[in-house]
């Protein structure tokens, strides 16, 4: 038996082929690129917006008038859209994940430290 005639088998029974290797490498690239992602996507920002609205609504320490004003503001479609767009552009993925993990509105302040650092030239 010559070296060229041997077929290499992977541990799970598939013969090694260029297609399988290519598919594996392509999947690896997508997986690794997602791991290195630092910006939240639209869905994550939308989920965070809904979560923050719930935290405002459930906050028993906030004055009812202030609470109602904040909820009216964040729940307006045009304001909500602007908040979500700003989130995608200006927040880090870690900051959004932090916001989603909070159970009280006042605790959201802790997440601001995870905001991306801005260049000195930006205001």
- Summarised one tens digit per residue, pLDDT across range 29-69 is 555 555 678 999 999 999 999 999 999 999 999 999 999 99
**For residue 106, what pLDDT is reported?**
95
Which parts of 18-61 are beta strand (E)? none
Task: Name the pLDDT band for 71 (thresholds 50, 70, 90).
Answer: very high
- Measured CA to CA, the distance from residue 114 to residue 123 in angstroms comes to 18
**For residue 122, what pLDDT is reported?**
47
Rounded average pLDDT over 82-88? 96
Higher per-residue confidence, 3 vs 77: 77
Higher per-residue confidence, 1 vs 36: 36
C-beta separation of 111 from 92 below 8 A: no
DSSP H/E element including 29: helix 18-35
Percent of the chain with pLDDT over 70: 67
Distances (CA, A) of 63 to 53, 71, 72, 100, 102: 15, 12, 14, 23, 20
CA nearest neighbour of 24 among 40, 38, 41, 12: 12
């Amino acid at each position: 038996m010559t070296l060229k005639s041997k077929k290499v088998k992977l541990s799970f029974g598939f013969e090694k082929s260029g297609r399988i290797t290519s598919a594996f490498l392509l999947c690896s690239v997508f997986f690794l690129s997602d791991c290195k992602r630092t910006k939240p996507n639209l869905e994550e920002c939308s989920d965070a917006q809904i979560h923050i609205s719930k935290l405002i609504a459930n906050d028993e320490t906030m004055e009812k008038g202030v609470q109602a004003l904040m909820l009216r503001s964040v729940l307006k479609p045009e304001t909500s859209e602007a908040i979500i767009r700003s989130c995608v552009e200006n927040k880090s993925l870690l900051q959004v994940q932090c916001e989603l993990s909070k159970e009280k509105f006042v605790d959201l302040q802790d997440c601001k430290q995870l905001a991306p650092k801005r260049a000195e030239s930006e205001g």
